[in-house]
Structure 1
């Protein structure tokens, strides 16, 4: 791997190990997470499928991909995590992978785990799949745009405040809470902690409001280090979210092609109609570009490239829109059945729309990209 901070040639191809990981995750999700199961979980209001998470996180080892081996993880990179997220996007699986195995883990890795026993222990539990954690910031927070903490710590280290729009908080065992004096770990079931579900567009990634009233907490990092750790976690999350959006878009196109081959009108498959052919061909071209952007972001994160912020901004600005377009086309080209609750197309559209504003909107990432590459604002 190139030395951190040095240019490196991007490698967008999947390695044999990555393809093996994909095959294992896809086989698991095909068996345990079909659309009917996802719909049932959404109707039941379950935050995630705990037995499925045990298998993915613990047995396959996906929960610890980003955790170094010396800390109890797999010692893999963002490239492998991106492959898992592609498959999770393909099935819109109700699992806390992005929130726990990516955002929470990356935040903890920025808190000097070798020096802090509390951080090291929590990382080990997350990597082993024995616990889940959620970073208590609004899901809409973009890299480089984290607002001032809305939680304060008193002299006794107890936390008071409210954080809205937190993903992964429902069902998490630990909350990682940025406060005015640093980053704190709070047991989700501790006295003074209230997690209230809110009505979310995406039923497979529910949001919640977290209220803290003098909740006992353990400080993991001082304020300056905590801010850097959270921002790096948001950057990693945004870059890898592009892979989830890619997987979602690929499923939508594949399902649309399948449907238009089987659905007949006027004695022929509707997929043979020229207008529909053009729409699906145009979407396929968008997917090719989205794959390049998502893979480039994952590779840059894995290599700790100096171009990582640019790669992530490009990936999110593009892949978010492609995922929404693919989901919209999937609904529309399925006709009436695409609008029903029984067909899973609505789950993909809702995930695509919610992911479009998660970790920064496409517009926010375009603005950041302009700053990064030195393009002046039209109003400047």
Structure 2
């Protein structure tokens, strides 16, 4: 099958999100927001959901979304990444919404998804996803039911345990928790404000993105999915999260490339623009190649997961590995080509470099995704 093409509708979507981010989340707003206790502007996030409708582009219309598909969602996330928008992009948009879409029955989706899509509530996933896929053996939370609660999805459960490095975990309203039961690993919904939930914010390299340690001590929980459906849904959420994070990395890399080209074009040395020197041209060309490679891999991943045109784990891992390496390399080159000012706190280059570094460690490193790709390739042989 032929690869997808960016349609006029997708171009219009990109322009709309870019304009919104430039107007309402410019660099001064990003710097002010990242210093707040929550780490994001709840009103800005709500507007992204209600006014722009870009938080549920991949969610079916029946559950409050637009039904536009994962490629459209990736376009919106790319523009958010280019602007370094502070918000629960990883926890809510990349993980929780895809997980609920895949794990819950229709009643569960109607109960949770509309509020997340509208931006009125936020959520995150407390599960071992740091290796690039869901690792059932690493689940550290246990769940118990009163009576014979396993027979039907619903209330009557409590969860206990500790989960490290939960994205957006300190501010999320809803926690989707992978917990071990007598029957295997299941998926539970926990109100973050419930008794028995304690959240400890972590110091992070990227100040625009928060993480937390979440501890459960007999916290009331609602069963969303049993063993078989939960495992498949968590693996799906990890793949979607990797692809959307790759799209965000494309946006950040593109922003750094554009800023660098603008700088070397307008900055003079020895009476001529920096960009006229061959060595600088080569560095900028290398940055462009890296960004375009990442773009191809990221959107192939989104298209493959959307239309089932490739092995989903293969496509997702290639997207995340390529985009992580590209973003890190481009952000480092941008700092070097900006000279001394690129290293200062006042310049945005360091914010992108820290985001690039943090993204490369989130939902699987380059090495971990390369290992997943190698495993798939060897299994095919």
| Smaller-chain TM-score bracket | over 0.9
1:352 pairs with one of 336, 352, 356 = 356
SS, match of residue 216 in structure 1: strand
C-alpha displacement at 1:221, in angstroms?
0.8
Q: What do the CA deviations read for 1:70-96 (whole angstroms, capped 9, x no partner)?
A: 122111211011001110110111111
Q: Which residue of 1 aligns with 2:122?
A: 132
- Partner of residue 167, structure 1: 167
Picking from 199, 204, 208, the partner of 1:204 is 208
1:64 aligns with 2:56: yes
- Contact kept, 8 Å, 2:124 with 2:174, in 1: the verdict is yes
* Deviates further, 213-222 or 93-102: 93-102
1:40-71: CA deviation from partner (whole Å, max 9, x where unpaired):
22233432121211111121111221211112
Equivalences, count: 367
Give the gaps of 5 or more residues in structure 2: 147-156
Match of 1:158 in 2: 158
Match of 1:365 among 366, 369, 381: 369
Name the CA distance, whole Å, in 2 between partners of 1:270 and 1:297: 36
Q: What residue ranges of structure 1 are gaps of 5+ in the alignment?
A: 1-7
| Residues in 1 aligned to 2:128 and 2:82: alpha-carbon distance in whole angstroms | 24
Do the aligned partners of residues 222 and 48 (structure 1) sit closer, same or farther apart at CA in structure 2, a change above 3 Å counting? Answer: same
Q: Deviations over 1:162-206 (max 9, x none)?
A: 000010212211000110031111111111111110111111111
Give, in whole Å, the separation in 1 of the partners of 2:345 and 2:248: 23
Q: Is 2:66 aligned against 1:74? A: yes
Question: Is it true that 1:308 corresponds to 2:340 in the alignment?
Answer: no
Determine if the alignment matches structure 1 residue 27 to structure 2 residue 19. yes
Equivalents in 1 of 2:44, 2:112: separation in Å? 21
| Superposition pairs of residues 1-380 of structure 1, within 5 angstroms | 8-11=1-4, 13-114=5-106, 117-138=107-128, 140-156=130-146, 157-181=157-181, 182-374=186-378
| 8 Å Cα contact 1:271/1:277 also seen in 2 | yes
Give the corresponding residue for 1:3.
Answer: none
**Distance (Å, rounded) in 2 between the aligned partners of 1:125 and 1:282:** 43
**Post-superposition shift, 1:113?**
2.3
Q: What's the secondary structure of 1:213's corresponding residue?
A: strand
Partner Cα distance (1:216, 1:246) in 2: 40
Decide whether the 8 Å contact of 1:239 with 1:298 is kept in 2: yes
Per the alignment, in what secondary structure is the counterpart of residue 35 of structure 2?
A: helix
Indicate the larger mover: 312-321 or 250-259. Answer: 312-321
Partner of 1:5 in structure 2? Answer: none
SS in 1 for 2:194: coil
In the aligned structure 2, how far is the partner of 1:147 from the partner of 1:341? 41
Question: Counterpart of 2:138 in 1: which secondary structure?
Answer: coil
Instruction: Give 1:147 shift.
Output: 4.2
Question: In 2 relative to 1, CA 279–146 (structure 1 residues): closer, same or farther, beyond 3 Å?
Answer: farther
Contact in 2 for aligned 1:168/1:205 (Cα 8 Å): yes
Check the 8 A contact 2:128/2:138 in 1, yes or no.
Answer: no
2: CA distance, partners of 1:52 / 1:138: 29
TM-score w.r.t. the length of structure 1 is: 0.92
Q: Give the CA RMSD over aligned residues.
A: 1.7
Judging changes above 3 Å, is the alpha-carbon distance between structure 1 residues 224 and 328 closer, same or farther for their aligned structure 2 residues? same
Q: Contact conserved, 1:66 with 1:101, CA < 8 A, in 2?
A: no
Moved over 4 A (4+): none
